[in-house]
Amino acid sequence: MNNNIYNLNLDYLILAHELIQSGRTQQAMVSLGLTPEAVNILSKMPVDQLKALARSDVLNFAPRFPVSSWPTFLGNEPVGNEHFEQGARRLRMFLGKPGSKS
């Protein structure tokens, strides 16, 4: 479990860092829920520090949509005749994950 949390944290932190370093600070703030203070701190952190931060036993981020949305996204409450895979794709698109094209 700890390795999974580490990988999630590291992916999130590296994505945030890359967005900030490439000048897409607003996208990092909107898409990832970063505050201006977090952007300022992350912009100065080398990758080694990101890895150390990712090693915490808790997620460094949280989904920002209500729990009531999960059943619809996951297919428990289908929209029209949508299949599970389509619901999963919509969730990935909502979360902004790569490879989430319909």
Torsion sign over Cα 19, 29, 73, 4 = positive
Q: CB-based contacts of 102: which residues, under 8 Å, 6+ apart?
A: 86, 89, 93
Q: Which domains does the chain have, with CATH numbers?
A: 2-54 (1.10.4000), 63-102 (no CATH)
pLDDT in tens, 54-84: 998 888 887 776 777 777 666 655 555 556 5
- The reply to whether the predicted model has a pTM over 0.75 is no
Q: How confident is the model at residue 98 (pLDDT cuts 50, 70, 90)?
A: very low
